[in-house]
Amino acid sequence: MRPLTYFSLVSNGSLVRHGEQDVVVPWWSFTKTVLAAASLSLVRDGIVRLDDVVLEGPFTLRQLLRHEAGLADYGELVEYHAAVARGDAPWQADEMLQRLDATRLRYAPGVGWQYSNVGYLYVARFIERATGLALEEALMQQALAPLGLLRVRSAKTPADLEGVCMGAISTYDPRWVYHGLLVGSLSDAALFLDRLMAGHLLPDLLVQEMQAARALGGPLPGRPWKSPAYGLGLMQGVLHKGPTLCGHTGAGPGSVVAVYRRANGSNTATCAVFHAGSDEGLAEEEVVKRLSASLKSGD
């Protein structure tokens, strides 16, 4: 019987071990971290600036990446969840934006915070405009290939998910993920975050910008975070026992992916966990446990 949870672990920059097999999985919202990294590579190259207003404005790239743009999220639409559950064909992006009344900002940019997949749809469009490339090619050029990850790909149709471990569902149309859905192995997810945070893609100043996070209040029920926060495409959490992790959790129908990195002095560890189910806290707790064990043992 297939286990409920898979994992992959990187210690001090090297892939050291993974579970029963290195499965290929949907990266769900860990895709946002790749989108943020690609955007910041364009900032690094002087092509764009973080605080310039984007075409869809009046918000900036920084505000989009930090979920501070004032945008709503299509996850709040009851009809969206119903359509996905029925297996309906995905709406075109413009129809989704119209249903959501997306042009009406829910708060002034920079004033509040609300997690928004729509914001990252605009980030994806921004990357395509800035590079003149289709999103998949742009992400490979700006973020994945420079970090040595050539097997990660975009899923655009249900056929693209054949052979991908989807957890508790058998079919899904990835076009419901409007900012794009990457699929790749758990080891590649762990290596991507580890190499990104180690400065293999961006200069130290931009890595620090990614980790400059907005505090989001107190503990989250059922989650390991005492003090959750959000940076530029990065979730950040202080654990109840003290250490701080950075990375991203992603959830979709049938599964959860959690990818986080922790440092202890000069030692670092990054873990990617895939859980077949809907419990984000369970996947995050598994990450916390494996990171703690790795740093304690020096694995």
Domain ranges, residue 192 = 5-297
Give the per-residue pLDDT at 299: 54
How many domains does the chain divide into? 1
Range list of H helices, the chain: 31-44, 61-65, 78-86, 93-100, 117-131, 135-139, 186-197, 204-211, 280-297
Give the per-residue pLDDT at 21: 76
Domain CATH for 168: 3.40.710.10
Which residues have CB under 8 Å from 1's CB, separation 6+?
A: none
Q: What are phi and psi of 51, to 5 degrees?
A: -105, 15
Give the per-residue pLDDT at 218: 85
Burial of residue 104 (number of CB atoms within 10 Å: 0-12, 13-18, 19+): exposed
Rounded mean pLDDT for each run of 10 residues along the chain, 299 residues in total: 76 83 93 98 97 95 98 96 93 97 96 97 98 98 98 97 92 96 97 98 97 91 92 90 89 96 93 94 94 78
